[in-house]
């Protein structure tokens, strides 16, 4: 029997992936343009946005990362699927 996943799971995961993409692109840009203040401000804004999205995701669906990068609720919820890389 296939497990149904809350559509909000996919919405937040998609927003995380989009935000991560922007952060990667800004990182690459800033590696070659380290004095671009607007890009640094945009990077910092996106980093804060990513933290908020990740927090929202973890509050609803459990940890995104392991080894101390995310907190766990009770009971231990790292074993709940789907895991973030399975989506």
Instruction: Report the predicted TM-score, pTM, of the whole model to 2 decimal places.
Output: 0.75
What long-range pairs does 11-15 form, CB within 8 A, spacing at least 24? 12/53, 12/56, 12/57, 12/60, 12/61, 13/57, 13/84, 13/87, 15/53
**Which residue ranges make up each domain of the chain?**
1-60
For residue range 20-79, list pLDDT tens digits in order: 999 999 999 999 999 999 999 999 999 999 999 999 998 998 888 776 656 656 655 655
């Amino acid at each position: 029997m296939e497990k149904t996943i809350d559509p909000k799971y996919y919405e937040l995961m998609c927003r995380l992936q989009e935000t991560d993409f922007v952060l990667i692109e800004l990182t690459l840009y800033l590696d070659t343009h380290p004095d671009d203040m607007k890009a640094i401000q945009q990077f910092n804004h996106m980093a804060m946005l990513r933290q908020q999205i990740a927090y929202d995701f973890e509050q609803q669906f459990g940890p995104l990362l392991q080894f101390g990068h995310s907190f766990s609720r009770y009971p231990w919820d790292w074993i709940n699927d789907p895991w973030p890389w399975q989506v």
